[in-house]
Structure 1
Amino acid sequence: MNHKNFLLIGLFVVSNVIAQQKVITANEAVSLALENNYGIKLADNQVEVAKNNVSILNSGYLPTLTGNAGATIDKQDTEGQLANGEVRIADGAETRRYNASINLNYTLFDGMGRSYNYKQLKERYQLTELEARETIENTVFQLFTVYYNVAQLTENTVALNETLAISKDRLLRAQYQFDYGQSTKLGVLNAEVDINKDSISVINTKQQLINIKRDLNVVLGDVLTEDFSVDTQINFDVLFSKEELFLKAKTRNTTLLQIDKNIAISGFDIKSGKSAYLPTIGLIGSYGWNESTNNSPLAFTLQSTNSGVSAGLNLSWNLFDGGSTIIRVKNAKINLENQQLQKEQLLITIERDFNNAWDDYQNKLNIFKLQEANIITSQNNFNRTEEKFKIGQVNSIEFRQAQLNLLNAELSRNQAKYDAKLAELQLLQLSGELLNITF
């Protein structure tokens, strides 16, 4: 049985196993991660908190209303002398007082501090969205690192099973040759040793595949309860323009966009600090009701009730606060300068990282193409060695070496294939395009 037949048998067996499993495509994996990954859920909750903070209820523009109410009861023994000299005594005279009021306080002007603080909250909300986007990008890249590891180990398992099948055929052939006196027992023993090695490789790779599938399920939020397989088909986008991608990296990179938001926040922080130099004007108003009753015969009024509305304006101007506002404004300006310096530094870093990522992607793509060509060479070499081995022109050591050369070529091709794809995704992440493509 030749190598092609073993390959077909191996692929048939693996295909039957995969057919019994649920195949998780790349797009499905991304959808599951976006919906169930715990890191993404936490980031979404942070966005909701920031969204709540931008509400008009947290802006300081609305007035405050407070309600107050009270009641007191006094019992006292009182003795008093009237104008005509009569002395009156009141034992346990009770006095009751009731009051209730509604008070309004509204800031009409605070030096534009509320306005700048509210604009800061809007910028912080957008910053939180960018932080959530960064979390999603990192999670998606982590997802595909694990996803393609599963795919690579799946293809490695096929190659190792194919190698094991060839070794078993070699053992059968060696046993026949020994039984008919055409070779020594050494050929059988060598074949058995190689089968043991190949079997161990298959067992180890299968266990690695099981483990990495568990890792993938964790990234997906532990939503897969049954065994599954992944899609091993990969397409490379070879139509990338370096100039266009680099332009996107300078305008859409998530980290760079966060720096821009921090610069905007720092600018509003300066303006908010300067608002403390201006006065605060407020409107106050209240409606109150009071009632008092007294059963003492010495009281001038036994019961009184009054109610009314009051309103007014107040002005508060902090002429000097010990210099804390001056220091706050100075520090805010320094912080803004630091943010701008960080942006300049980040632009240099992005350019370096982009060029490195671009070269790394091109190199790994070329390596993958060379490895595919190497597969053809190794396959032809193995086929010829196998034919010579069958007619006794090649010994078992040379045959085994050709077999291992083909196996190593297949494993190297698989490694290069997924390394190139991950390099492509890293390039897209630097360019801010990772979430804008179809996987």
Structure 2
Amino acid sequence: MTSKTYISIFLVFFGIGAGAQEVLTTEEAIALALDHNYGIKIAKNTVEIAENNAGILNSGYLPTLTGNAGATIEVQNSEGQLADGAVRIAEGAETRRYNASVDLSYTLFDGLGRLYNYKRLKEQYQLSELEARSTIETTMLQLFSIYYSVAELTENTDALEQTMAISKKRLTRAGYQFDYGQNTKLEVLNAEVDINNDSINLIVTKQLLQNTKRDLNFVLGNSYAEQFNVDTDVDFVLDIDKDELLEKTKLNNVSLLQAETNINISEFDIKTNKAQFLPNIGLIGSYGWNESSNNSPLAFVIQNTNSGISGGINLTWNLFDGGSTLTSVKNAKILLETQKLQMEQLNIDIERNFNNAWDDYQNKLIIFQVQKNNIITAQNNFDRTEEKFKIGQVTSIEFRQAQLNLINAELSRNQAKYDAKVSELTLLQISGELLNIAF
């Protein structure tokens, strides 16, 4: 295959879709994820349910009001004997009864069970908010892990395209030199093999880039354009103090806050169960209306109507329930102790994870800086080798090695750059500061 034929195929293969594409910024990605990511949407719905549950309408502090109404009709045959011995018979006597009432019930005292349950629901609402925050933090970390993978693959694609351009120039040069008898066919064949390898690497990288863009759009709820680019500029939060960040971790880490909230809930569970040892005092009231009519000749009153208000106080006290309440209190205390132990374990685990994440971040920053310096060395080496190659002082194999060293240095630099950024975000997530920084 000649160089011209190969270049034509390459342009057809990669020329499609080479037009300008929108750039998805980090700010836009955050906004789109918050509005369209399905996990975040579900978490928001869960928070809304918990908020409804923690409202006054679900607290048990409001009275219940019930309306009742009814009507009955009876048709009977009756026979009765009077005091004088006379007998009276009523056939098809109809009796009608109507009633309506409004009943009120209100608990005045239940051993403070309502109070503790209401406070428990408030804590449950706080827990749901923390769970939603955890979902958002996890989604943001996932979002930017993929975002920076797209950025890395974008820069890798650019580097590989530059390598392709160099390889094409080398193939063209080798072809001219062969035509004029300055080298053998072997130089042309070597150049073709190298350009084929470069093209394969570029094809694979471009395909991986497209797949990763689809992954990113999935996290965004498929809310963005099908074709887009990302911002490849990265800023690091370099003024982080380890001790200060560790203190923030102990105060703001979402897992620790969730564990603390679960302890509060368990404490209210104990108090709620203990409330069952005390009596319940309730207030009841009713307003009713009743009317009955009877057309039987045996009836003393043909129609009767009454209405009125009634009220009262009732007391119920479960003196002994077989020990189930006592068992519930004991189990709630054990659960509380278990959660406190889990809290202690979690504190140790979080501090370990923080230290690991801190060291990983610092090391990756150093690696990134080393790779940046390595790029300078590799570029200088390639430039000098290229000049010597043009005047025939180095072989094509030496030139190719310098070219590979440069592209490998560029790919390693790109990986180190985005690995360091993702490591930084992981550290900020552990410390509870991920949502408080500007990306």
Give deviations 1:85-144, integer Å, cap 9, x for gaps. 221111100011111111111000000000000000000000000000000000000000
Q: Give the CA RMSD over aligned residues.
A: 1.1
Question: In structure 2, what is the equivalent of residue 153 of structure 1?
Answer: 153
After TM superposition, give the deviation of residue 372 of structure 1 in Å. 0.3
Q: Supply the distance in 2 between the matched residues of 1:412 and 1:113 (Cα, whole angstroms).
A: 63
Question: In structure 1, what is the equivalent of residue 432 of structure 2?
Answer: 432
Question: In structure 2, what is the equivalent of residue 339 of structure 1?
Answer: 339
- Give the fraction of aligned pairs with identical amino acids, expressed as a percent: 71
Q: Supply the distance in 2 between the matched residues of 1:296 and 1:333 (Cα, whole angstroms).
A: 68
Q: Secondary structure at the match of 1:319?
A: coil
Question: In structure 1, what is the equivalent of residue 357 of structure 2?
Answer: 357
Question: In structure 2, what is the equivalent of residue 125 of structure 1?
Answer: 125
After TM superposition, give the deviation of residue 20 of structure 1 in Å. 1.6
Q: Supply the distance in 1 between the matched residues of 2:284 and 2:18 (Cα, whole angstroms).
A: 75
Indicate whether 1:168 and 2:171 are aligned.
no
After TM superposition, give the deviation of residue 28 of structure 1 in Å. 1.1
* 1:37–1:220 CA contact under 8 A, matched in 2: yes
Question: In structure 1, what is the equivalent of residue 205 of structure 2?
Answer: 205
Q: Letter of the aligned partner of 2:244 in structure 1?
A: E
Question: In structure 2, what is the equivalent of residue 315 of structure 1?
Answer: 315
Q: Secondary structure at the match of 2:108?
A: strand
Q: Secondary structure at the match of 2:146?
A: helix
After TM superposition, give the deviation of residue 225 of structure 1 in Å. 3.0
After TM superposition, give the deviation of residue 18 of structure 1 in Å. 8.2
Q: Letter of the aligned partner of 2:268 in structure 1?
A: F
Q: Secondary structure at the match of 1:181?
A: coil
Q: Secondary structure at the match of 1:52?
A: helix
Q: Secondary structure at the match of 1:291?
A: strand
Q: Secondary structure at the match of 1:142?
A: helix
Question: In structure 1, what is the equivalent of residue 114 of structure 2?
Answer: 114
Q: Letter of the aligned partner of 2:322 in structure 1?
A: G
Q: Supply the distance in 1 between the matched residues of 2:282 and 2:79 (Cα, whole angstroms).
A: 48
Indicate whether 1:47 and 2:47 are aligned.
yes
Q: Supply the distance in 1 between the matched residues of 2:18 and 2:29 (Cα, whole angstroms).
A: 17
Q: Letter of the aligned partner of 2:202 in structure 1?
A: V
Give deviations 1:247-297, integer Å, cap 9, x for gaps. 011110000000010010011111111111111000011111111100000
Q: Secondary structure at the match of 1:299?
A: coil
After TM superposition, give the deviation of residue 150 of structure 1 in Å. 0.3
Question: In structure 2, what is the equivalent of residue 275 of structure 1?
Answer: 275
Q: Supply the distance in 2 between the matched residues of 1:297 and 1:273 (Cα, whole angstroms).
A: 61
Report runs of 4+ in structure 1 exceeding 6 Å deviation: none
After TM superposition, give the deviation of residue 304 of structure 1 in Å. 0.5
Structure 1 range deviating more: 219-228 or 318-327: 219-228
Indicate whether 1:251 and 2:251 are aligned.
yes
Q: Supply the distance in 2 between the matched residues of 1:224 and 1:241 (Cα, whole angstroms).
A: 37
Question: In structure 2, what is the equivalent of residue 20 of structure 1?
Answer: 20
Give deviations 1:4-38, integer Å, cap 9, x for gaps. xxxxxxxxxx9xx8882111111111111011100
Q: Supply the distance in 2 between the matched residues of 1:128 and 1:273 (Cα, whole angstroms).
A: 23
* 1:18–1:229 CA contact under 8 A, matched in 2: no
Q: Equivalent residues in 2 for 1:390-429 (5 A)? A: 390-429=390-429
Q: Supply the distance in 2 between the matched residues of 1:19 and 1:365 (Cα, whole angstroms).
A: 35
Question: In structure 1, what is the equivalent of residue 186 of structure 2?
Answer: 186
* 1:127–1:258 CA contact under 8 A, matched in 2: yes
Q: Letter of the aligned partner of 1:213 in structure 2?
A: K
Number of residue pairs matched? 424
Question: In structure 1, what is the equivalent of residue 5 of structure 2?
Answer: none
Q: Supply the distance in 1 between the matched residues of 2:69 and 2:47 (Cα, whole angstroms).
A: 40
After TM superposition, give the deviation of residue 238 of structure 1 in Å. 1.2
Q: Supply the distance in 1 between the matched residues of 2:321 and 2:361 (Cα, whole angstroms).
A: 59
After TM superposition, give the deviation of residue 236 of structure 1 in Å. 1.0
Question: In structure 2, what is the equivalent of residue 287 of structure 1?
Answer: 287
* 1:108–1:281 CA contact under 8 A, matched in 2: yes
Q: Secondary structure at the match of 1:392?
A: coil
Q: Letter of the aligned partner of 1:114 in structure 2?
A: R
Structure 1 range deviating more: 364-373 or 390-399: 390-399
Give deviations 1:387-407, integer Å, cap 9, x for gaps. 111111111111101000000
TM-score, normalised on structure 2? 0.95
Indicate whether 1:37 and 2:34 are aligned.
no
* 1:95–1:292 CA contact under 8 A, matched in 2: yes
Q: Supply the distance in 1 between the matched residues of 2:20 and 2:165 (Cα, whole angstroms).
A: 22
Q: Secondary structure at the match of 1:236?
A: coil
Q: Supply the distance in 1 between the matched residues of 2:34 and 2:293 (Cα, whole angstroms).
A: 69
Question: In structure 2, what is the equivalent of residue 69 of structure 1?
Answer: 69
Q: Supply the distance in 2 between the matched residues of 1:97 and 1:176 (Cα, whole angstroms).
A: 115
Q: Equivalent residues in 2 for 1:73-88 (5 A)? A: 73-88=73-88
Q: Equivalent residues in 2 for 1:132-151 (5 A)? A: 132-151=132-151
Q: Letter of the aligned partner of 1:244 in structure 2?
A: E
Q: Secondary structure at the match of 2:309?
A: strand
